[in-house]
């Protein structure tokens, strides 16, 4: 654009100059070698401009001729480089698609067309091709060669880290992650791996330093940064809770300030306040967290806030939690546990059954088994509740990357991802279909065997032949004879097979009254 503007400006200046000379006629006299030349001023100006243009054209031609070998060489070199980058691009696409044959062919072609020392992507393509073909030693050697170049050092560490993980060499993988974290703390995979190791070792101070270094080198939103820091502070407070309760209190309150919705932070902050005797403030923190998200850890900490409380005092606190979030499975479950401890079996059973109506789960069945054993001592019903607990959906648990833990942790033990644990039902298998009404009614009580009383009834004599066979009257269909049933004496229990057989006869007999068919196990049965 600037060149076009300059050219237009130059044409305008020349045109204006010639117009100015045309308006002012004159002559130019030149004496050279005894000769006198006289021309008009316009002709002289035109000649001067033509000479300048001819000189410039001649200079451009001479310069082009001199530089033509270099220009030609540069053209072929650019063409070769373009072909090399095209081969490199095609090879990377083939490696990503899993086409080892095409990747190997493009690797050789790119190596011939490009300078391997000046193009690090060729080394990456070589390593990818070697991994596709199963040549792990060659791939590892290529990644190790990348460590010598500052531009490819991080890429080499990443490749060695993945190869070590694939081979199951955890110590070597951790070493490469540590080196990469020192080189670039903002890199997610390296910092996550180091955080996972620091979390396993319980070195929360170093983890906080690494977190600060990672935040300084990357663009992280404030909300995520606050939650990550709260998770590490919560873990630190939990680790020093028994040894230094005062430091645990300060750290836990700071974590709760950063992330008020983080349940472990609220629980450890309240427990630290309870340890210092501040029951009111600790209870307020738990009540606020409970209103936002009811959780069994909150209920456990709130109900057992004071170690010296009686079971009825704990039941009173559980009732208060239930009043804050009624019609909630966690609230009903917490109230049922407290009622069981206090001996209020009817209240405990009512709330446990309410959990089955809202969200059936394993813990509710186990609780009903405990209630049954404490209230009635009926081992048959206890076993039935336990058998249903085996088939019931699992309770929610702390889950991160497919790993299920009974306790919360700040980092995932699988990937090292920070603040990865979530409170949810583990995805292991499909939950069975449950009849809610049947579950609330509970198992049927085991009824002892009832003796069968057989009372014969007089039967009109039938015409018979001499051998005792039934004589069929012409025009009438013979009545089906029931299978004889062996009667049990009174006082001796009838087997289930005998009872089923008797029931079948009663139902099929048209001479039995409907009220007798609908009778219970102690009804008298008629036999033929």
Question: What is the overall mean pLDDT for the chain?
Answer: 79
Q: What are the pLDDT digits (tens) for 501-517?
A: 433 333 344 444 444 44
Instruction: Put residue 488 in one of left, alpha, beta given phi > 0 → left and psi -120 to 50 → alpha.
Output: beta
Q: Which two tokens stand for residue 314?
A: 């704990």
Residue listed under structure tokens 């009614």: 441
DSSP state of 309: -
Q: Does residue 109 register a pLDDT over 90?
A: no
pLDDT-derived band at 370, boundaries 50, 70, 90: very high
Residue 204 φ/ψ region, left for φ over 0, alpha for ψ in the -120 to 50 degree band, beta for the rest? alpha
1 burial type by CB count under 10 A (0-12 exposed, 13-18 middle, 19+ buried): exposed
Q: How far is residue 528's CA from residue 459's CA, in Å, rounded to a whole number?
A: 8
Token readout for 443 is 């198992």
Three-class SS state of 401: coil
Q: Is the pLDDT of residue 464 over 70?
A: no
Please determine, for residue 21, whether its predicted confidence score (pLDDT) is greater than 60. Answer: yes
Model pLDDT, residue 285: 95
* Separation of CA 15 from chain center: 75
Q: Which residue has the tokens 């990456």?
A: 124
- Per cent of the chain over pLDDT 70 is 79
- Which DSSP state fits 454? B
Distance CA 143, CA 164 (A): 12
In degrees rounded to 5, what are phi and psi of residue 304? -100, 40
Q: Which residue stretches of 114-203 are H helix?
A: 121-132, 136-146, 153-167, 170-183, 188-201
Q: If you search the block for the tokens 């020392």, which residue do you land on?
A: 117
- Domains of the chain, by residue range, sit at 10-77, 447-455+485-528
pLDDT tens digits, 416-454: 788 889 999 887 544 444 444 444 455 554 444 444 444
**C-alpha to C-alpha distance for 200 and 212, rounded to whole angstroms:** 19
For residue 67, the model assigns a pLDDT of 82
Asked if residue 240 has pLDDT above 50, the reply is yes
Q: Residue 351 phi/psi, 5° resolution?
A: -75, -35
Helix (H, G, I), strand (E, B) or coil at 31: strand
User: pLDDT tens digit string along 272-330?
Assistant: 999 999 999 999 999 999 999 999 999 999 999 988 889 999 999 999 999 999 999 99
**Strands annotated E in 330-413:** 397-400, 403-405
pLDDT digits (tens, 9 = 90+) for 143-197: 888 888 888 899 899 989 988 888 888 889 889 988 998 888 888 888 888 888 8
């Amino acid at each position: 654009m600037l060149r076009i503007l300059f050219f237009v400006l130059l044409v305008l200046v020349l045109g204006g100059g010639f117009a100015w000379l045309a308006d002012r006629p004159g002559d130019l006299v030149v004496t050279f070698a005894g000769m006198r030349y006289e021309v008009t001023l316009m002709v002289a100006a035109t000649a001067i401009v033509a000479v300048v243009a001819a000189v410039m054209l001649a200079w451009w031609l001479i310069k082009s001729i001199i530089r033509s070998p270099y220009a030609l060489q540069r053209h072929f070199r650019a063409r070769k480089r373009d072909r090399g980058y095209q081969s490199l691009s095609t090879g990377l696409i083939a490696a990503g698609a899993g086409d080892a044959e095409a990747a190997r062919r493009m690797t050789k072609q790119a190596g011939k067309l490009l300078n391997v020392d000046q193009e690090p992507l060729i080394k990456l393509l070589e390593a990818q091709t070697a991994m596709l073909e199963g040549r792990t030693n060659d791939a590892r050697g290529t990644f190790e060669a990348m460590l010598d170049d500052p531009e490819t050092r991080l890429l080499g560490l990443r490749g060695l880290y993945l190869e070590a993980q694939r081979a199951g060499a955890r110590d070597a993988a951790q070493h490469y992650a540590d080196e990469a974290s020192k080189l670039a703390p903002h890199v997610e995979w390296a910092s996550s791996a180091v955080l996972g190791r620091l979390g396993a070792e319980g070195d929360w101070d170093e983890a906080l330093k690494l977190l600060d270094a990672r935040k300084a080198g990357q663009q992280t939103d404030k909300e995520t940064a606050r939650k990550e820091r709260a998770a590490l502070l919560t873990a630190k407070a939990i680790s020093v809770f028994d040894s230094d309760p005062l430091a645990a209190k300060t750290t836990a309150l700071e974590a709760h300030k950063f992330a008020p919705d983080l349940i472990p932070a609220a629980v450890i902050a309240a427990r630290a306040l309870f340890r210092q005797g501040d029951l009111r403030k600790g209870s307020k923190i738990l009540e606020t967290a409970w209103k936002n998200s009811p959780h069994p850890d909150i209920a456990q900490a709130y109900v057992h806030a004071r170690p010296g409380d009686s079971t009825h005092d704990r039941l009173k606190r559980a009732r208060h939690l239930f009043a804050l979030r009624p019609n909630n499975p966690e609230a009903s479950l917490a109230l049922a546990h407290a009622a069981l401890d206090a001996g209020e079996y009817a209240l405990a059973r009512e709330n446990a059954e309410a959990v089955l109506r809202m969200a059936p789960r394993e813990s509710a069945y186990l609780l009903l088994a405990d209630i049954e054993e404490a209230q009635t001592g009926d081992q048959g019903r206890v076993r039935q509740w336990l058998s249903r607990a085996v088939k019931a959906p699992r309770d929610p648990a702390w889950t991160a990357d497919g790993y299920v833990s009974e306790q919360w942790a700040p980092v995932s033990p699988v990937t090292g991802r920070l603040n990865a644990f979530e409170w949810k039902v583990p995805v292991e298998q499909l939950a069975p279909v449950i009849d809610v009404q049947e579950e609330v009614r509970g198992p049927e009580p085991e009824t002892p065997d009832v003796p069968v009383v057989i009372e014969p009834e007089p039967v009109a004599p039938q015409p018979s032949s001499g051998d005792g066979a039934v004589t069929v009257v012409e025009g009438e269909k013979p009545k089906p004879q029931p299978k004889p049933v062996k009667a049990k004496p009174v006082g001796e229990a009838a087997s289930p097979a005998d009872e089923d057989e008797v029931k079948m006869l009663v139902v099929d007999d048209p001479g039995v009254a409907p009220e007798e068919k609908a009778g219970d196990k102690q009804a008298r049965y008629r036999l033929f």
